């Protein structure tokens, strides 16, 4: 659904506010900006909360560090190591398939061609965009994961049903110079403040946020909306 286009001044304030609130870098995972861990970590993250993904990444990479090692590892061992993530049975098979392709077709490296990444089993635009943004430094893609989808809708930047719709809607709303950092900023915001049950009382985006203005603020009883103590 179309939303009235947000004035540019307001949009810039939102991005500057996010930058001030989250000056760190993509610190929610152990990916370290290397293509292979980012690819594997993002496959693990599908339908899974961040702490469970991080736990699985740590356990997996403590034992198997390369595509060759994962491709030749026993499936049961991979399943056991990544058991904290959703649909781990499917993901374990997928990891082995992806790693086998990396070994057999790309000499054990992650390909740098966007279409070749999309052709890997279980890899969609979210994974591809995260990989190209964080590992290959592309600035012309917006990686839309669950945090970016949720926050973009709450802020009123878009009115969409799926992350893919959000990605294409955001290209129309956000100037290109900001595309490369949107995922980084919103992932941190989604992990720390705009969680499933948003902590609006500590969010500096309240003046610009549709969800806060339309849903949270009207319910607020005067004097009751203060940070919890302790």
Which of the residues are catalytic?
Answer: 126, 145
CA distance 54 to 119: 25
Among 26, 88, 179, 211, binds ligand SF4 (CB under 6 A): 211
DSSP per-residue letters across 172-203: HHS-GGGHHHHHHHHHHHHHHTS-SS--GGG-
Shortest reach from residue 9's CB to ligand SF4, in Å:
18
Closer CB to ligand SF4, residue 73 or residue 194? 194
DSSP code of residue 108: T
Question: Which range, of 40-48, 115-123, 149-157, 177-185, touches ligand SF4 by CB under 6 A?
Answer: 149-157
Q: How far is the CB of 211 from ligand SF4 (least distance, A)?
A: 4
Nearer to ligand SF4, 137 or 226 (CB): 226
Which of residues 88, 132, 179, 212 is near ligand SF4 by CB under 6 A? 212
Nearest approach in angstroms of CB 196 to ligand SF4 is: 11
Helices (H), the chain: 8-21, 35-45, 50-63, 67-72, 75-81, 88-106, 114-118, 125-134, 146-155, 163-173, 179-192, 210-211, 217-219
Number of chain residues interacting with ligand SF4 (CB under 6 A): 14
CB atoms closer than 10 angstroms to residue 107: 9
Is residue 71 within the footprint of ligand SF4 (CB under 6 A)? no
Report d(CA 210, CA 6) in Å as an integer. Answer: 11
Considering the complex, what minimum distance in angstroms separates the CB of residue 151 from ligand SF4?
6
Q: Within a 10 A sphere around the Cβ of 16, how many other Cβ atoms?
A: 10
Residue 129 is encoded by which pair of tokens? 């965009």
Residues 150-209 that bind ligand SF4 (CB under 6 A): 151, 154-155, 193-194, 198-200, 203, 205-206, 209
What does the binding site for ligand SF4 look like in residue numbers (CB under 6 A)? 151, 154-155, 193-194, 198-200, 203, 205-206, 209, 211-212
């Amino acid at each position: 659904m179309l939303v009235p286009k947000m004035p540019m001044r307001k949009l810039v304030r939102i991005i500057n506010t996010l930058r001030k609130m989250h000056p760190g870098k993509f610190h929610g995972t152990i990916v370290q900006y290397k293509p292979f861990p980012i690819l594997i970590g993002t496959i693990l993250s599908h339908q899974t909360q961040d702490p469970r993904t991080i736990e699985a990444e740590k356990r997996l990479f403590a034992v198997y560090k390369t595509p060759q090692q994962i491709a030749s590892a026993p499936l049961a061992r991979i399943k056991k190591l990544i058991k904290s993530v959703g649909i781990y049975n499917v993901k374990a098979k997928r990891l082995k398939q992806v790693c086998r392709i990396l070994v057999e077709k790309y000499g054990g490296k992650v390909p740098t061609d966007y279409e070749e990444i999309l052709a890997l089993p279980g890899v969609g635009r979210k994974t591809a965009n995260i990989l190209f943004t964080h590992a290959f430094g592309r600035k012309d893609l917006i990686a839309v994961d669950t945090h970016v989808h949720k926050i973009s809708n709450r802020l009123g930047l878009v009115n969409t049903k799926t992350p893919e719709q959000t990605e294409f809607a955001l290209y129309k709303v956000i100037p290109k110079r900001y595309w490369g950092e949107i995922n980084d900023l919103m992932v941190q915001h989604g992990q720390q403040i705009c969680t499933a049950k948003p902590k609006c009382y500590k969010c500096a985006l309240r003046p610009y946020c549709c969800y806060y203005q339309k849903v949270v603020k009207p319910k607020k009883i005067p004097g009751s909306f203060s940070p919890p103590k302790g």
